[in-house]
Structure 1
Amino acid sequence: MGLKAALLAQARAEGFAAMGVMRPGSVPELAGRLQAFVEAGRHGQMGWMAERMNWRGDPSALWPEARSVVMLAEPYTPDEDPMDAVARREAGAISVYARNRDYHDVVKKRLKRLGRWLIDEAKRQGQGAEIKVFVDTAPVMEKPLAAAAGLGWQGKHTNLLSRDLGNWFFLGAIFTTLDLEPDAPGRENCGSCTACLDACPTRAFPAPFQIDARRCVSYLTIEHHGPVDEALRPMLGNRIYGCDDCLAACPWNKFAIAASEVKYAARDDLRAPALARLAQLDDAAFREKFSGSPIKRIGRDRFVRNVLYAIGNSGQPALAAHAARLADDPDETVRDAANWALSRLK
């Protein structure tokens, strides 16, 4: 068996659902697209997108010795409709991917195992190899690289779509000095469908295939520091960490396959957690509850800010007492959110 075919078989044995290969310099338009996005200010407070732009916009500059990029997809398909939680106004809606263990840790461990296997197998076949693995925390634009590797295409919601997987999957990358045969890039198959654009509660898509992060619920609830624009707060609804609306609306999800990793299965206490209980979390309780979760990285104050916006949007007068208790919170943004929630409920 050739090295690439053997790698695909091993990737599937590790739990990855799809694999593709691309050349580091095969997406020359990437740098220009990124620069235009940043110059328009659509990255909001995500200053890291502007930093090391030469690496982010050109994978060949990130590691000049790399000759191939292996892109891998790992499904986290939910076992229920994520929009069910959005309909429960007394509860918080947490994005599907964040309802259990942090995917960065899970995918990276799997990538490292596969990478070590690749080095050993290449050596067995008489080839030397070096690798670097990346999962969403390095200056690597995984989605366009995965599209170039044939895993799918970036849909009108800018997320990666696959005819075989829908859009519920994580991406990981293995950069290697090995010269592996590249795959044909994915072809766009959205057609005239606008389901994802129509589903966005904040109208974060200025045009198909474009996103303004400053209006995106995922950005606002996770990346944005400080108070959220008051005009946008009612549109957040009860979404307290991330948003799945555009993903859930995609018709290609009829081909989604079940997640094989049990660590992605939703914890019962995070499917639709009661806002009243979440509003009571102090820093220690927050850290304990979200230990090992991606939610932990935004900290208690930002999370409780989101919970208070959800309380303000709940239409539930009984929740006013929980907002009132936080009206003198040590954190200024939490105080602001608490008073806003009280004004809405009154």
Structure 2
Amino acid sequence: EITALAASASSSGKTYRDAVSGRWKMHVGFSDRIGSMNVLDASDIEGVKEHVDIVFCAVDMSKDEIKKLEEEYARAEIPVISNNSANRWTEDVPMIIPEINAAHFDVIEAQKKRLGTKRGFITTKPNCSIQSYVPALTPLLSYGIKAVVATTFQAISGAGKTFETMPEIIDNVIPFISGEEEKSEKEPLKIWGKVMDGRIIPVDSPVISAQCIRVPVTNGHLAAVSVSFERKPSKEDIIKAWSEFRGEPQELGLPHAPKQFITYFEEPNRPQSGLDRNIYGGMGITVGRLREDNIFDFKFVCLSHNTLRGAAGGAVETAELLYKKGYFD
């Protein structure tokens, strides 16, 4: 249940409806109950603490300000599930895709010792750009992935835009998204890393080369991926690995977990952003066009919903898994 909404001091005291007037970008609205809630001052941590058990954090501030804010909430014994990038590379902060690296929750105890907390901690979500191809590659890690080339075609909602507020994207593509390529190449290595001595140690391979392109699509980040292996699997092996892959959210039947994490399409023209981004309520990953590559071993196309699986929905699923594993006790 949403029990409090907090923002900057300039929005504090307003109803949520008034605070977001003229700025709401989603295609769906919010309930009257949410709209009539008074917005709290996010910097008044003790005031917020009276209303909440956990905090979801997504703020427009500098990285240093975000790190300070999130650590202050954690030190106030409020667990923080963050959509921000500021703490993604903090060594004792897990960066979670719930189906893939829930084992990284083990580092939370070391983080609590550093922060001096009993209940408070921070966990983050990775960048939305990687949440189609990292799920698709993870079931194939046992074949020894050597190199990956990923080109992402990213929806305008990832920039907080609509066609009305980003008219320059109409009938156009923009072959640059600031900071995205570095995140897309490096964050998978932490997700596939191991917890050792109270920190997460990223793996040093595979090598990933990424290009990130903004395209005229409302929602859904699509990626074209080429991959080479130390031990080349068959096409049938890959499809089987995708179809059978399940994580703890599926085993536990979490409310926001897709029944089938990865869905493979045999049709040559799928997945498509408009048709397939909302599979399993926007929480599933879709893959298609698997075929052999002239330079690499295989290539394929994959899709995830960037604001659901890649952001808010993934954060909620992370919270559900933390709850089931007793981290909010």
When normalised by structure 2's length, the TM-score is: 0.29
The structure that has the greater radius of gyration is 1
The structure with the greater share of residues assigned to helix is: 1
Structure with the greater relative contact order (CA < 8 A, sep ≥ 6): 1 or 2? Answer: 1
The structure with the greater share of residues assigned to strand is: 2
